[in-house]
Amino acid sequence: MNGSTRPSIHPRHLLSLCPTYPDDFFEDLDRLVDDSPAAVCRVLDAALKGYKPDYDFEGRLKKLLRKLALRQETRNDALRLAERLVRQLPGMVEFYQEITSLQPA
């Protein structure tokens, strides 16, 4: 493969490639927020279209969404993602109310 050819994968399939659990994937994305918040938001959005969480281990997804909601450039997307999860994930109603009251940096 030459240097200009890169394999690609649709972000929706990223969770299926996660070697352990989706929660590890969320934790990995959390580490990337400071460098690439908009990209993390896009990947998370695409991944959540193909994965419907029913449990948030150690609050990793909420932590990631909170971090994105505190950034001006990703706030609206983070709120939209959190709102989408309200009917799926326990505790999201309260979490959504919490992050809508936060002021972005």
The pLDDT confidence band at residue 4, using thresholds 50, 70 and 90, is very low
Q: Is residue 96 one of the residues assigned to a domain?
A: yes
**Taking the complete model, does pTM exceed 0.85, yes or no?**
no
| Residue 85 neighbours by CB distance under 10 Å | 20
User: At 10, is the pLDDT very low, low, confident or very high (cuts 50, 70, 90)?
Assistant: low
Rounded Cα–Cα distance for residues 16 and 49 (Å)? 13
Domain contains 70: yes
Q: Could you tell me if residue 67 is inside a domain?
A: yes
Total number of domains constituting the chain: 1
2 in a structural domain: no
* Residue 4 belongs to a domain: no
* SS3 of 64-98: HHHHHHCCCCCHHHHHHHHHHHCCCCCCHHHHHHH
d(Cα 17, Cα 84) in Å, to the nearest integer?
A: 23
The average pLDDT across 72-92 equals: 94
Asked if the model's pLDDT at residue 77 lies above 70, the reply is yes
- What is the span of the domain harbouring residue 29? 11-101
Amino acid at the residue 81: L
Q: What is the pLDDT of residues 51-67, one digit of tens each?
A: 888 889 899 999 999 99
Mean pLDDT of 34-40: 95
In whole angstroms, what separates CA 16 from the centre of its chain? 15
The band of 25, judged by pLDDT with boundaries at 50, 70 and 90, is: confident
Half-sphere exposure of 95 (CA within 13 A, CB side): 26
Q: Any residues with CB less than 8 A from the CB of 30 and at least 6 apart, and which?
A: 60, 63, 64, 67
Spatial CB neighbours of 105, under 8 Å, sequence gap ≥ 6:
70, 71, 72
